[in-house]
Amino acid sequence: MSKYNFSLSERQKAGLTTGVFGLSCNLVLSAAKIVTGLISNSIAIYSDGMNNMLDSLSALTVIFSFCYSGKRKDKEHPHGHGRSEYIGGFVISFLILVTAATLGQQSIARIIEPEKIQTTPVLFVVLVASVVMKIGMALFYRRRNRKVNSTVLSASSRDSLSDAFTTTAIIIAMIFAPLSDLPIDGVVSLLLVLFIARQGLVSFFENFTFLLGKSTDPKTLRLIRRTVLATASFTKVSAIDMHDYGPEQHSAIIKAELKKGVHRAQLETDITAIKHQLKSKHNIDATIYWPPEA
């Protein structure tokens, strides 16, 4: 069988459809805001549109990461390609930070040298529709992520919600900008940039931690111990060594102590039951061993 074959789980298929949905929505929003920003001469609206353009690239990253994580195991990657989702989330956060830095420079320049903004009813229609759509996208991502449990979709949900807040701030700024000589457009754009940067940093460190490797959740360790000790063959769990190869690929090497006098048939039955329960319910591939008898 070719190593380039793909075998997508239901989780990965859900992630792909979510990515396509996000890509379509963000392309529409990006085009509408960039055109509106150029017509109205608003750096804040233009920045918001560029942010949505990066959201489109982020959606492409979602599609890529879920698709690539579905590649079958091969000699170079015996544990699969599940960590590509963590890389996808990391890339999204990096793009957010790059956008924040670029737009921050433009916003400061607009504060130093303010320019007049041309407000029209169409401008407000575009912005209000954007807020509604972004809130809907954030809720959609969050609902899907309850089933998918992906750092990529988690980052996308946070980003969509932040977009809704920042666009709301822009609407308020566009209402008051014509009434003042202050560089409201540039100031709001800079605040937008700071908000975007904060979201990017949160996502950056979250995914960076996953890539470096993080300690196992104590709840997961307790669950494994309960599963092992619920059988008749083991009396104690001495150590658990967890490995994370992606949201759907975890492995646990469990050191346990055998009950004295346990029969081989009972032991084999219990080990099979433990491995099946951990795999089917928690996506954990378990390996159990015990010290040799003295």
Query: pLDDT, tens digit, for every residue of 174-226?
Result: 888 777 778 888 888 888 788 778 878 887 888 777 777 777 788 888 999 99
Name the E strands within 145-199: none
pLDDT at 6: 45
Report the alpha-carbon distance of residue 108 to residue 113 in Å, rounded: 9
DSSP state string for 17-81: HHHHHHHHHHHHHHHHHHHHHHHHT-HHHHHHHHHHHHHHHHHHHHHHHHHHHTBPP-SS-TT-S
Task: Note whether 54 and 156 are within 8 A (CB).
Answer: no
Query: 15 pLDDT exceeds 90?
Result: no
Confidence of residue 3 (pLDDT cuts 50, 70, 90): very low
Q: 148, exposed or middle or buried, with CB in 10 Å at 0-12, 13-18, 19+? A: buried
Q: What is the pLDDT of residue 32?
A: 93
Q: What are the structural domains, with CATH classification, of the chain?
A: 10-212 (1.20.1510.10), 218-289 (3.30.70.1350)
**Contact partners, residue 5, CB within 8 Å, separation at least 6:** 71, 72
Sign of the C-alpha dihedral, residues 79, 82, 88, 90? negative
DSSP 177: G
State the Cα angle at 220 between 214 and 222, rounded to 5°. Answer: 125
85-119 burial: b if 16+ Cβ within 10 Å, else e = bbbbbbbbbbbbbebbeebbebbeebbeebeebee
pLDDT at 77: 66
Angle ∠(27,33,34) on CA atoms, nearest 5:
90
- Please say whether the dihedral angle defined by the alpha carbons of residues 38, 39, 41 and 47, taken in this order, is positive or negative: negative
Query: What is the pLDDT averaged over residues 36-64?
Result: 83
pLDDT digits (tens, 9 = 90+) for 252-277: 999 999 988 888 899 999 999 999 99
pLDDT exceeds cutoff 50 at 23: yes
pLDDT given at position 269? 93
Dump pLDDT digits (tens) for 81-107.
Answer: 666 667 777 777 887 888 788 888 888
pLDDT grade, residue 1 (50/70/90)? very low
How far is it, in rounded angstroms, from Cα 13 to Cα 17?
6
